[in-house]
Structure 1
Amino acid sequence: MVEEVAEDLREEGLGAPSAVVTCVGGGGLLCGILEGMHRVGWRHVPVVAMETRGAASFRAAWHSGQPVTIADITSVAITLGAKKVCQRVVDYIREHPLISELVSDRVAVQACFQFADDHRMLVEPSCGAALSAIYSGLASRLYHEGRLEASPRRPLVAVVCGGSAATLPQLEDWKRVADGKDEPE
């Protein structure tokens, strides 16, 4: 996937992205993205790893420096539902610029609806967590704070994944559950 994105950017006359945004659960997708980024020479490109608050096993590992088993998965983003991340993704914390961010289920589900409106495609809340970096203004804040470097020749790349379980009735159910939670945005 990363090689294809790199080729597409080259064809458009663009450089490496300013950042890559993805969701993270157990670390498999994130590790694959990072391996691809290293193969194409993007070792310097930050990755914004997005999780929901109720499935924050990467954030727990981020703080402890090792895989940590979290007590419970309480998020509607069940495909992020790994209670513990793999060791390799923890190793990458020391090897690659990574930014760990958390969002509420409500924000993740809102991003799913916004993406559906914009692109006529349904995605699951795990993907909504990643997309919320764009829709909630988080990415803009990271650029403004200087944590990401803005450049017209270096776009932000968002990994859009996880739609097989998404139906309109399921999205409505996720919204109902997320709206009933009392958690910070």
Structure 2
Amino acid sequence: MYAHTQPPTSSDMNTGEVQPEDLWTETPLVYSSHISDIIGCSAYLKLENLQLSQSFKYRGISKFAQQCREKHGPSVHLMIASGGNAGLAAAVAGRVLGVKCTVFLPMNVSTDTQEALRKQGAELIMIGEVYSETLVALRDAVKKDINGVLVPAYDSPVLWDGHSSMVTEMQKQLPIQPDAIFCSVGGGGLIGGIIQGCKNVGWDEVPIVALETTGSNCFYNAIAINTQHFTSKVPSIPSIEAEDSSPYTIEIVDKDNVAIPYMKELKSRAASLGASSPASGVVRMALDRAGGVRCVCIPDEMAMYTARLFADDHKMLTELACSTTLTPGYNHEFLLHILGPKFSALSAEERKKKRFVFVVCGGIKISFEDIREFDEIVAAAQAEGCWSVQIDGKDIQVPKQ
């Protein structure tokens, strides 16, 4: 079902009639016969690409923006640093709420993304070679603007609370609780919302599978660091700093009692997963979660291959951050490795009773031209017969299907 398909207006806000949940869309949870046939289980797609800004980010960011307007009034100035999707969510929220929004972008953001932001009325400032430099510029600018409020892209309990609403919807839309939820992870905003949402509806024991691309796996590294490379059931802060040869540096965040890696370089085409470090609060939530979080890394080419398959089957374009989530649905053996020996030991009839949710997180950074380029890249990679993936500290070769 769909709900709230017509966005509220700023005049609605003035009457006090709009609630936070009225800002975003209740997205459908649809059964995928294509993926279900491949994996031998019931696969459901939570279509967050149908939000007003075309990604899940609109949930939490619109809630944050609304709270800013309520606190500071209509003169509030929303200011955010983004590679695209978080900025678009803030821009749409700003238009709906009738407040000013400025988006700080790295210099390499595409003209298509810039145009999408301008169409929502956002002012753009292009600065910095990478997101971390753009964020520094934003922080300086906010200090100089009397009405400016820094809108976080992923690191805020308000955002996680807004994102958690998708799990509340899932509970209403599924006949029984799922046997696993699959999502992509960058800085941790989405998985933070899912963890909190599961807690809200009593799904703490439902496994969550967090997928990243190998060149942007800051969350994977964070969990590895705090669990002695996935070997300890009792999380602990490492006693030594990362070596010079490590792809990251380490910072101890006392308030959450975790060690956080800062990636020295991001090497993935999945730009929406390109946070150099994860939110420490989300890392803490994942470490403490009763049902745990399974951490998985895949190569870009595997996500590219899946993006093409999903487009053919479901007639939807998904950027790499989104197709990363869907890769276990298009490779049965990969799914078996992720879920482990207990699942592998089930009979075919027992597996048919399992229900999995794949969060189609959305995103605007994809085009037909990108898909054609992906085809060429994947074709060049087909000489090797297996995908190299990492699952909770183990390197595994998965046959290409």
Q: What TM-score, normalized by structure 2, do the two folds share?
A: 0.42
Is 2:225 aligned against 1:64?
yes
Which structure 2 residues correspond to residues 12-91 of structure 1 after superposition, within 5 A? 15-65=176-226, 66-91=259-284
Is 2:311 aligned against 1:146?
no
Greater relative contact order (Cα < 8 A, sep 6+): 1
Is 2:326 aligned against 1:131?
yes
2:343 and 2:217 mapped to 1: Cα distance? 21
Q: Displacement, 1:123? A: 0.3
SS in 2 for 1:184: strand
State the one-letter code of the partner of 2:269. V
Number of equivalenced pairs: 181
Q: Which whole-Å deviations, capped at 9, do the CAs of 1:86-125 have from their partners, x for residues lacking one? A: 0112102322210000111010111111110110000001
Contact 1:2 1:36 in 2 (8 A): yes
1:177 and 1:152 mapped to 2: Cα distance? 34
Contact 1:16 1:154 in 2 (8 A): no
1:122 and 1:62 mapped to 2: Cα distance? 31
In structure 2, do the counterparts of structure 1 residues 143 and 61 end up closer, same or farther at CA, with 3 Å as the change threshold? Answer: closer
Q: Displacement, 1:142? A: 3.1
Q: Displacement, 1:165? A: 1.6
Bigger share in strand: 2
1:5 and 1:58 mapped to 2: Cα distance? 25
Flag structure 2 segments of 5+ consecutive residues without an equivalent. Answer: 1-165, 227-258, 390-401
Provide the residue aligned with 2:297 in structure 1.
Answer: 102
State the one-letter code of the partner of 1:146. K
Flag structure 1 segments of 5+ consecutive residues without an equivalent. Answer: none
In structure 2, do the counterparts of structure 1 residues 129 and 8 end up closer, same or farther at CA, with 3 Å as the change threshold? Answer: same
Provide the residue aligned with 2:370 in structure 1.
Answer: 170
Provide the residue aligned with 1:119 in structure 2.
Answer: 314
Identity among equivalent positions (%) equals 29
2:262 and 2:273 mapped to 1: Cα distance? 14
Q: Displacement, 1:162? A: 2.3
Contact 1:105 1:178 in 2 (8 A): no
* Greater Cα shift, 102-111 or 137-146: 137-146
2:378 and 2:281 mapped to 1: Cα distance? 31
In structure 2, do the counterparts of structure 1 residues 80 and 175 end up closer, same or farther at CA, with 3 Å as the change threshold? Answer: farther
Contact 1:76 1:174 in 2 (8 A): no
Q: Displacement, 1:67? A: 1.5
Contact 2:218 2:278 in 1 (8 A): yes
State the one-letter code of the partner of 2:309. Q
Q: Displacement, 1:180? A: 6.1
Q: Displacement, 1:161? A: 1.4
Q: Displacement, 1:55? A: 0.5
1:124 and 1:5 mapped to 2: Cα distance? 23
Q: Displacement, 1:136? A: 2.3
